[in-house]
Amino acid sequence: MTFSFNLLADLQQMFQYQFMAHAFEAGTVVAIIAGIIGYFVVMRRSSFAAHALSHIGFAGAAGAVLLGISPVYGLLLFTSVGGSMMAALGPRAAHRDVQIGTVLAFMLGLGVLFISLYTGYATEAYSILFGEILGISSSDVLLTLAAGLIILAVVAVVYRPLLFASLDEDVAEAKGMPTFFLGIIFMLLVAIATSFAVQVVGVLLIFSLMVTPAAIAQQLAKRPTRAIIISVIIALIATWLGLFISFYEPYPVSFFITSIVFIFYIFVRFVYRRIKPLKVYQANSQEIETDR
Amino acid sequence: MQSKIITAENLVAGYPGNIVWRDASFDIDRGEFVAIIGPNGAGKTTLFRLLLGLLQPISGTIKIFDTQPKRGNPLIGYVPQRHLIDSEMNVESLELVRLGFSGKQWGFSISKKDRKAGLAALEAVGSLELAHRGLNALSGGELQRIFLAEALVSNPELLLLDEPLSNLDMRREKDLLQLVNNVVRSRNVTALLIAHNINPLLPFLDKVLYIVNGKVATGKPKDVLTSERLTDLYGVPVEVLRDSRGKFAIIGIEDYHGDQI
């Protein structure tokens, strides 16, 4: 396949291949949910917990492979149980780096054991660890879509209480909000999002879709709704562009996705911030004028 | 309207196997500005937790607005003691204040009611110009005003402020107290404020509630603030001085090295 500068023709050619069409479909859903959930992960400062959850999922995925079922079910089971336990251990549990790290390493080790018991060692482990979006089946796409819709529906319902509990847990608790219950809901959302995002970037690279786009967005927008939209857009651009490039270049999709996200991050962190402050200040004073 | 907002009788507070203080009987009237003082770990925040319904008394009774405290009482505005907001928390102030108003509602909000209420609360604390600033870009004093707006946005009748003065310089301390005092007087709100240094509070207070050595007592500032009682309270020598205008000043003698020079 060669790249032409006629993008439409390129895309038409690309979508003739079913695996590319599936990859784009699943990738789109995953980018949207990862972008949204990622914002709450960053807000709650639970990025390490989310990272750990994907490693816990690795053991589940490997176990599922060993049993001859789709890794996604193992991921869902392990991340949901692991996530609920983290939430149940207490609201501050997400910040217990050492404990989480200990469980994380153990789970990764367990995954290695399961994988070694399974004869197809290398390829399966590789695809769980680093993602294998190009090998996604049409039933996986449907399952991903279903999970995406569930996540969107739940987020639409819990949006404000979850945001409040994430921003200001003590006041939310005093106001009688079910912070414990919200913590569990949140971790379950992370669990589901993680389980499906693993298909795209794999267990080890989950940060690039679940955390980094949201962290970038948070630098760019002070209003949660805007930040969530930006986070989704960054995740989408990275996924689409990554898939697009990988169609022409023989390197892993997850490498391209993580690199694009990283470039965004570097740009915002070091370039954008230097040129921005003055403009922000001006925009703010205008907004205040209109409020009065 | 009854004038007693909080009444406690023979109240014992603490956690299983660890009584923090006992035999507390006191009451607080509507519209009073009350300072809660006492050494670290004496159980000042424990009292707030009881009032908020986050902790059950071990024995005795406590009533707030004539009923048992329960979690989520909309008549209470609470500002917990906070460590500095995470430097990554780039969320605009107005958003936090709005959540104080509508954070309990499920689903997305289409109405702009919370926005209006949020802006009004920010105006009430004189911080409208901070509405669109990120929380991570605010100073300690500015943050405390935002937190106060967040507590005021739901129009509470009782304010519980847990050490809002820590991390503030003297000027900001005075500004914030003036602000709380204005709220108390203009809205006939009752405010309980936990503090370490009582000096800046003295011009505003109606009552002092002090917690020490497992006991709770209340009184008018001039009755409580005597050298003997405060020395007893903190367990270190404390002297209460009056300046030429009759104002109090309280110093720990240990800190006062003037006579040694």
Note the pLDDT tens digit of each residue in B121-153. Answer: 999 999 999 999 999 889 889 999 999 999 999
C-beta separation of B218 from B208 below 8 A: yes
Q: Does B132 touch chain A (CB under 8 A)?
A: yes
Position A198: which residue type? V
Q: What is the pLDDT of residue A277?
A: 57
Q: Average pLDDT in the A15-44 region? A: 94
Q: What is the pLDDT of residue A10?
A: 87
Alpha helix locations (H) across chain B?
Answer: 44-51, 93-102, 113-124, 140-152, 170-187, 221-224, 227-234
Put simply, the answer to whether A163 touches B150 (Cβ < 8 Å) is no
Q: What is the pLDDT of residue A48?
A: 86
At B147, is the secondary structure helix, strand, or coil? helix
Put simply, the answer to whether A42 touches B88 (Cβ < 8 Å) is yes
A176, A224, A287 member nearest B91 (Cβ) = A224
What's the rounded Cα separation, in Å, for the pair A228 and A244? 24
C-beta separation of A41 from A213 below 8 A: no
Q: Average pLDDT in the A78-82 region? A: 93
Q: Residue B86: its chain A contacts at CB < 8 A?
A: 45
Q: Which of A43, A47, A45 has the alpha carbon at shortest distance from A222?
A: A43
Stretch 135-164 of chain B: residues touching chain A, C-beta under 8 Å: 150-151
The tens digit of pLDDT for each residue in B94-108 reads: 999 999 999 888 887
Judged against a pLDDT cut of 50, whether residue A62 lies above it is answered with yes
The tens digit of pLDDT for each residue in B199-251 reads: 889 889 999 998 888 888 888 887 777 777 777 767 777 777 777 666 667 77
Judged against a pLDDT cut of 90, whether residue A163 lies above it is answered with yes
For A178, which residue in chain B has the nearest alpha carbon?
A: B104
Judged against a pLDDT cut of 90, whether residue B259 lies above it is answered with no
Task: Name residues whose C-beta falls within 8 Å of residue A274's C-beta, 6 or more positions apart in sequence.
Answer: none
Q: What is the pLDDT of residue B53?
A: 94
Q: Residue A41 corresponds to which tokens in the numbers above?
A: 């992960």
Q: What is the pLDDT of residue B240?
A: 77
Q: How far is CA B260 from CA A286, B235, B240, B254, B257, in A?
A: 58, 22, 19, 11, 5
CA A259 centroid distance within chain = 15
B52, B108, B132 member nearest A159 (Cβ) = B108
Q: Does B102 touch chain A (CB under 8 A)?
A: yes
Q: Minimum mean pLDDT among A94-103, A125-134, B161-170: which range?
A: A94-103
Higher-confidence position of B53 and B224: B53
Put simply, the answer to whether A167 touches B52 (Cβ < 8 Å) is no
What's the rounded Cα separation, in Å, for the pair A79 and A110? 14
Instruction: Tell me which H or E stretch contains A145.
Output: helix A138-167
Confidence band, pLDDT 50/70/90 cuts, at residue A90: low
C-beta separation of A45 from B83 below 8 A: no
Tell me which residue has tokens 């069409």: A21
Q: Residue B192 corresponds to which tokens in the numbers above?
A: 């309980």
Q: What is the pLDDT of residue B261?
A: 40
Confidence band, pLDDT 50/70/90 cuts, at residue B21: very high
What's the rounded Cα separation, in Å, for the pair B22 and B48? 15
C-beta separation of A211 from A50 below 8 A: yes
ipTM higher than the 0.90 cut: no
Q: Minimum mean pLDDT among A58-62, A195-199, B230-234: which range?
A: B230-234
Burial class (CB in 10 A: 0-12, 13-18, 19+), A10: middle
Per cent of chain A over pLDDT 70 is 90
C-beta separation of A80 from A150 below 8 A: no
What's the rounded Cα separation, in Å, for the pair B258 and B102? 54
What's the rounded Cα separation, in Å, for the pair A99 and A48? 11
Confidence band, pLDDT 50/70/90 cuts, at residue B40: confident
Position A168: which residue type? D
Q: Residue B162: its chain A contacts at CB < 8 A?
A: none
What's the rounded Cα separation, in Å, for the pair A104 and A85? 13
Judged against a pLDDT cut of 50, whether residue B258 lies above it is answered with no
Q: Residue B138: its chain A contacts at CB < 8 A?
A: none
What's the rounded Cα separation, in Å, for the pair B37 and B50? 17
Q: Residue A164: its chain B contacts at CB < 8 A?
A: 99, 103-104
Q: How far is CA B161 from CA A37, B133, B138, B217, in A?
A: 33, 23, 19, 19
Q: Which site among B46, B115, B132 would you substitute to test the A interface, given the most A Cβ atoms closer than 10 Å to its Cβ?
A: B132
Q: Which site among A92, A95, A167, A212 would you substitute to test the B interface, given the most B Cβ atoms closer than 10 Å to its Cβ?
A: A167
Judged against a pLDDT cut of 80, whether residue B20 lies above it is answered with yes
Number of CB atoms found within 10 A of residue A157's CB: 14
Position A266: which residue type? I
Judged against a pLDDT cut of 90, whether residue A11 lies above it is answered with no
How many CA atoms within 13 Å lie on the side-chain side of B209? 25
Interface residues of chain A, partner chain B, Cβ below 8 Å: 42-43, 45, 156-161, 163-165, 167-168, 170-177, 215, 218-219, 222-224, 284, 287-288, 291-292
Q: Residue A153: its chain B contacts at CB < 8 A?
A: none
DSSP B85-141: PPTT---BHHHHHHHHHHTTS-S---S-HHHHHHHHHHHHTT-GGGTTSBGGG--HH
Position B130: which residue type? L
B52, B104, B131 member nearest A161 (Cβ) = B104
- pTM assigned to the model: 0.88
- Computed over every residue of chain B, the mean pLDDT equals 86
A168, A175, A288 member nearest B72 (Cβ) = A175
Confidence band, pLDDT 50/70/90 cuts, at residue A200: confident
Count CB pairs under 8 A between chains A and B: 99
- Computed over every residue of chain A, the mean pLDDT equals 87
The C-alpha angle with vertex A132 and arms to A128 and A134, in degrees rounded to 5, equals 165
Judged against a pLDDT cut of 80, whether residue B88 lies above it is answered with no
Task: Name residues whose C-beta falls within 8 Å of residue B242's C-beta, 6 or more positions apart in sequence.
Answer: B248, B249
Number of CB atoms found within 10 A of residue B231's CB: 16
Burial A227-261 (b: 16+ CB within 10 A, else e): bbbbbbebbbbbbbebbbbbbeeeebbbbbbbbbb
Burial B214-229 (b: 16+ CB within 10 A, else e): bebbbeebeebbeeeb
Q: What is the pLDDT of residue B257?
A: 46
Q: Which of B216, B220, B184 has the alpha carbon at shortest distance from B43?
A: B216
For B154, which residue in chain A has the nearest alpha carbon?
A: A175
Task: Name residues whose C-beta falls within 8 Å of residue A115's C-beta, 6 or more positions apart in sequence.
Answer: A62, A65, A66, A121, A124, A125
Q: How far is A95 from chain B (nearest CA, A)?
A: 13
Q: Does B68 touch chain A (CB under 8 A)?
A: no
Q: How far is B80 from chain A (nearest CA, A)?
A: 7
